[in-house]
A and B are shown apart, each in its own frame.
Chain A
Amino acid sequence: MISIETSPGRTNTESWRERIRITRTLVFSVIFILAGIWILLGVTNSIAPDAVTRLTFGEGGAGQSLALDVVVVPYMRFVGFFYILCGVVGLLPNERLGRIKFVVLLLGGILIFPNILIVAAAGQSTSVTSMLGSSLRLATPIVIGALAGIWCERAGVVNIAIEGMMLTGACMGFVAFTSLAGSMGVPNAQFIGIIVAVLSGGLMSMLHAWLSIRFKTNQVISGTVINILAIGLTSFLRREVLLQNQDAGRETLQAIRIPLLADIPVVGETLFNAKPIFYMMFILLIVTHVVLFYTRWGLRTRAVGENPHAADTLGINVNRNRWINVIIGGMIAGLAGAWLTLEQTGTFDDQMTAGRGFIALAAMIFGKWLPFGAFGGGLLFGFASALETRFQILGVQLPTQFLQMTPYIVTIIVLAGLVGRAIPPKADGVPYEKD
């Protein structure tokens, strides 16, 4: 069939793209309407009509916490209608509503999570604050790791070695802590431990820089080498140092309470009575954002990552810039490692990073190489992971394997539905050669 182009300026490919874009909103709108109908007909009927979910806010003793009782069935009826409304708005033909449609669909998407919690906890009491705290804590190493990735990749060096740098930082920091704790006291040794973790992460990234900038090795291979090296190196250290010294579990870092701010109701205790690396995440997040977008160094870094030849022409030393950024990235990854051993567990185990470095990479990518985007991505993983645990605590009657898929399903939905295409820095992964 031959189609007749009315508008001469419009090519076939454009019309295709146009269609796909419309289709995506359309698909989501239809899914929302179906979800709304399902909630109204299915979910509300499967819950006891008088079931109440007690959402508690604030930690500490029973006396201090606020509680909100949600009667599940009427609330879910409301939610069901809301989803149908969202879907209908999404289907409206008016093109000027694009932004409103997006906001409505986003709102519906975000609301899925608290709604799931309310349904899962029907008839029980569950703390929202602890959910927030858990999400943020589980997000900490991922966000910090993602920031490490941003420093490297914005300068044009792919870094899949975050996992290895994290593991090295975790191990070296812990070894330093345990060997010094006897002579200088626990708090000082912990501080030195963090420094050592950061430096050892930096050291591993120097290897990465050396291979991939100096010798122009394929950056993925160089990263893989570091990941494997880190596994061997750290398990060797554990065997020769930690197990020899009979160092089993140690103290973790003490929480630092920020006066006044910690007294804010509901979120104060969670956000402002936390451990040091948790705070470091926020500081690093802001520093990374400011440096990258509001300083000369950041501008140069981005130029090097996008178009190193042009940057070189303007007198920027491309390789020097890359070296420095890669090392900073490695140091940040080392800090993420310190979170694992010094802040969270107080032990070191072989391969204890358990893939967090790779999840950090994913968070960086679906944050579109932006610090706050990466923070959102990390938080999403943290939340999904905490939710998976909470489901099991609440005794949701689903096979565990399905519950454990939660973080990944959430990722797919968010990636496909909300984020769309993520475009890396143009020169990412390409060694710079002056021709």
Chain B
Amino acid sequence: MITKKRCMNMMLVLSLLALGIVPAFSVAAQDSLIESVCLVTDVGKVNDGTFNQLAYEGMVTVVEDYDLESTYIETLAPTDYAANIQTCLDSGYDVIATIGFLMSDATLAAASDPANSGVYFIGIDQGFEAPPANLVGVQYREDQSGFVAGALAALMSETGKIAGIYGIPVPAVVKFRNGFEQGAKYINPDIDVQGVYIDSFVDSAKGAETATQLIEADPENPVDVIFGAGGQTGSGGIKAAAEAGVYVIGVDQDEYFTTFGAGTTPGAEFLISSATKRVDRGIYVPVEQLVNGDTSSFGTNAVLSASNDGVSFAPAHDSDVPEDVAAQLTAILEELKAGTIVTGVDPVSGEMLPSLADLVAGNPELSVLAGAWTDAGIELEPGVAYTILAPNNAAFAAVTLPADAPDAVLEILMAHVIEGAMAASDVELPEGVTVVTGDIPFSQGVIHIIDGVVMP
């Protein structure tokens, strides 16, 4: 135990020394709230070629653009999260950025400490229920870039069977997976989407073997597109699959330039895209805001989505993706930005949101609506976003629906279905009808429970 402690102390001293030699030339802008940034990586290095490196590059860019001081600490083991954050604090840095979902607890604990109230914290891939005023949790809509990847996979698949190789099921990975599966089903509702979670982000050998098994498990009808979303595990998987001549899709950054060595790696011509996630912007944007004296993001969770270019997809490079497929993907991305297509994934947990049918059936106040809806046989078009006005039972009790006229009932019901997701405050309701419970998310948009029936 003593040895371990001594070792830790030595490491602390060493890191402090490292911090001490960071040059301090910069002159901060007048109204800037900060002068320095300290980045703590998740287990991994700032040049790991993936996640941590992207974050680091974001920090380097913003530091150069605004002439700030900076340093970084590479975490060796999950037990060091808190100690590394403390090292940044002790060295007097103004902004501390922590990288990765697994650091959420350590980040929240440090930010909540009253002693640190003057320091700003940025938690990448982290979401908080009620973040303190000096903390921003940066979350990504991985489900949206996964959705585009899934659509691409479904468009390129000939066997109708595609698969994903995923890392540890943390929310970011779950979002990628569910988004991918929904995107594939948006293009082809009957598609068979398989998926394998592997309990490591660094086991590329297991990833590669999983790819082989996915391809060989059913020789009569094999998987012909594989999406890899799990750090090095996923990259190992798609590399092996591409080498075997199966289309693959990468993740986080454009893997053409990392895993596939800008086209030099065998199988690079089978990389059809990557579901990208701008980790660098997650650092850049909040730091830039602080430099401009803007703290509005702090105390909240900032979401980087398709609409603010936080997530997207990478070009096809050497692969033979047809023009019209690429155009279709761009169109889907535009619709995701506009909100006319929704992924149906909960942006925090990554799990699927309940479907309209489940939500309505589960609410006793909506039992009349549920019955009428089923009788009319309305089905929503998959992937398309809707706003549903749901009159409660009291509302139906106040009106008489036309008997024996299913078309008339259908017409009335359809008046409650609006294409595109709208917040309760934006919905125009007829005189006398008010929203009882608004903004309930479901897998294809949002439901507002109202106290009157809208007549067409």
Q: Is the CB of A404 within 8 A of B199?
A: yes
Contact of A347 among B44, B214, B216, B239 (CB under 8 A): B239
Chain A residues closer than 8 Å to B169, beta-carbon distance: 400
With A137-B209, A389-B196, A389-B210: A345-B204 Cβ-Cβ less than 8 Å: yes
**B221 nearest CB neighbor, chain A only:** A125
**B236 nearest CB neighbor, chain A only:** A345
Q: How far, in whole Å, are A130 and B222 apart by their CA atoms in the complex? A: 12
Residue-by-residue, is B180-217 near A (CB-CB < 8 Å gives 1, otherwise 0)? 00000000000000111111101111111110111011
Chain B residues closer than 8 Å to A347, beta-carbon distance: 204, 232, 235-236, 239, 259
The distance from the CB of A222 to the nearest CB of chain B, in whole angstroms, is 15
Q: How far, in whole Å, are A126 and B264 apart by their CA atoms in the complex? A: 34
Residue-by-residue, is A92-133 near B (CB-CB < 8 Å gives 1, otherwise 0)? 000000000000000000000000000000001111011101
Chain A residues closer than 8 Å to B356, beta-carbon distance: none
Q: How far, in whole Å, are A354 and B231 apart by their CA atoms in the complex? A: 14
Q: Is the CB of A352 within 8 A of B197?
A: no
The distance from the CB of A195 to the nearest CB of chain B, in whole angstroms, is 21
**Is residue B260 contacting chain A, with contact meaning CB distance below 8 A?**
yes
Q: Is the CB of B196 within 8 A of A393?
A: yes
Residue-by-residue, is A202-231 near B (CB-CB < 8 Å gives 1, otherwise 0)? 000000000000000000000000000000
Which of A13-21, A57-65, A324-332 touches B?
A: A57-65
Chain B residues closer than 8 Å to A356, beta-carbon distance: 205
Interface set, chain A 387-416, CB cutoff 8 A to B: 389-390, 392-395, 400, 404
**Interface SS, A side:** mixed
Q: Is the CB of A392 within 8 A of B218?
A: no
Contact of B49 among A60, A62, A133, A243 (CB under 8 A): A243
Chain B residues closer than 8 Å to A312, beta-carbon distance: none
Residue-by-residue, is A134-148 near B (CB-CB < 8 Å gives 1, otherwise 0)? 100110010000000
**Is residue B38 contacting chain A, with contact meaning CB distance below 8 A?**
no
Q: Is the CB of B260 within 8 A of A249?
A: yes
Residue-by-residue, is A226-257 near B (CB-CB < 8 Å gives 1, otherwise 0)? 00000000010001000100111111100000
**Is residue A344 contacting chain B, with contact meaning CB distance below 8 A?**
yes
With A127-B217, A134-B212, A346-B243: A392-B266 Cβ-Cβ less than 8 Å: no
Chain A residues closer than 8 Å to B86, beta-carbon distance: none
Q: Is the CB of A344 within 8 A of B196?
A: no
Chain A residues closer than 8 Å to B205, beta-carbon distance: 141, 340, 344-345, 352, 354, 356
Chain A residues closer than 8 Å to B259, beta-carbon distance: 248-249, 347
Q: Is the CB of B197 within 8 A of A400?
A: yes
**Is residue B317 contacting chain A, with contact meaning CB distance below 8 A?**
no
Q: Which residues of A contact B (CB under 8 A)?
A: 56, 58-62, 65, 67, 124-127, 129-131, 133-134, 137-138, 141, 235, 239, 243, 246-252, 340, 344-347, 349-352, 354, 356, 385-386, 389-390, 392-395, 400, 404
List, sorted by A's number, 27 A–B pairs whose CB atoms are closer than 8 Å: A127-B217, A130-B217, A134-B209, A134-B213, A137-B209, A246-B261, A247-B261, A249-B239, A344-B240, A345-B205, A345-B240, A346-B265, A347-B236, A347-B259, A349-B202, A352-B203, A352-B232, A354-B200, A354-B206, A356-B205, A389-B210, A390-B213, A393-B194, A393-B196, A393-B214, A393-B217, A394-B217
Q: Which residues of B contact A (CB under 8 A)?
A: 44-45, 47-49, 163, 169, 194-200, 202-210, 212-214, 216-221, 232, 235-236, 239-240, 243, 258-262, 264-266
